[in-house]
Amino acid sequence: DVPVVSTLDLHANITPAMAQNANALVGYDTYPHVDAFERGVEAAQIVADAVRGRSNPVAALAQVPMLIGPPKQCTLISPMQDIIALAHEIEERPGIIYVTVSDGFPFADIHDAGVSIVVNADGDAELAQNTADEIAAHVWQRREEFALNLIPVEDAIAQAIAGGEGPVILADGSDNPGGGAPCDGTVMLKALIDADAPRATVAIIADPEAVAGAIAAGVGNEVTLTVGGKTDNRHGEPLTLTGYVRAITDGNYANRGPMYTGMPVAMGRTVVFVVGGVEVIITEHRAQPFDMQ
């Protein structure tokens, strides 16, 4: 008799048990995730309507046998942009409460990793399942459009420099602390320094030892530090770099951008270390750079 509703990341690997034990699953519509607040409000409204007897939400799941690489999960470009638009169109149909399209987290070593569709309908389990199957079939039909065309890091940096316009953001998904990685990878940093990249910033490398060395040197002073690559041997080797300390902060701030707006972040003591044209933000704690501010 108690409605169970959960919000989910767009990368969620949704299992049958999750759909069976929830009245509704409300996933983010965006990657980058800039709609978390709106989805929270929507989930709360579904709960309120259920408690007041205005609706009887039921959830149905359709899984698609696809593992989508994160670059193709972006909802700012096709095909995901089109599929989210289709989900919004279907939400306007009678009896449909909410549609979740989850791209899944392809690196998870679990049976249910991959693309999932959850349709929440008003008391009609058959409608929910048929609609989920319809969207899943559409995604499967477009599966070839999700193929990745990746290039080496060095080539990507060369293209960014040659383009002359920015900002250009290169994301090292293999060292994503939000996915459990150590946040001290040096592959991108080394490639930027080797390319003598101008006006470049690496955010962030978690390395308490390097932070302590930079603080001991002081702002404006030159220092040689061994940066990154200290957690494991899978994300690049430690780099011995000589540069100067541009800034030292406590690493505390609140997000002001559209992602996790207002959320406080504590990165520990933080320094900006400059090597040639490359700024390196080095922190004591692992953290994702959610905010451009």
DSSP secondary structure string, 149-179? ----HHHHHHHHHHH--S------GGG-GGG
Dihedral sign computed on CA atoms, order 280, 281, 285, 286: negative
Burial status of residue 240 (CB atoms within 10 A of its CB: 0-12, 13-18, 19 or more): exposed
The half-sphere exposure of 277 on its side-chain side, counting CA atoms within 13 A, is 11
Q: What local confidence, expressed as pLDDT, does residue 166 receive?
A: 84
Q: Is the confidence at residue 113, as pLDDT, over 90? A: yes
Statement: residue 4 has pLDDT above 80 = yes
Would you say residue 183 has pLDDT above 80?
A: yes
pLDDT at 261 over 90: no
Q: Which residues contact 204 (CB under 8 A, 6 or more apart)?
A: 183, 267, 270, 281, 282, 283, 287, 289
Q: Residue 293 has what pLDDT?
A: 65
Give the global pTM: 0.89
Average pLDDT over residues 153-167: 92
Reported as a pLDDT band with limits 50, 70 and 90, residue 160 is very high
Identify the pLDDT of residue 58: 97
Averaged pLDDT of the chain: 95
Instruction: Give pLDDT, residue 179.
Output: 82
- Residues 113-125 as b/e (b if ≥16 CB within 10 A, e otherwise) read bbbbbbbbbbebe
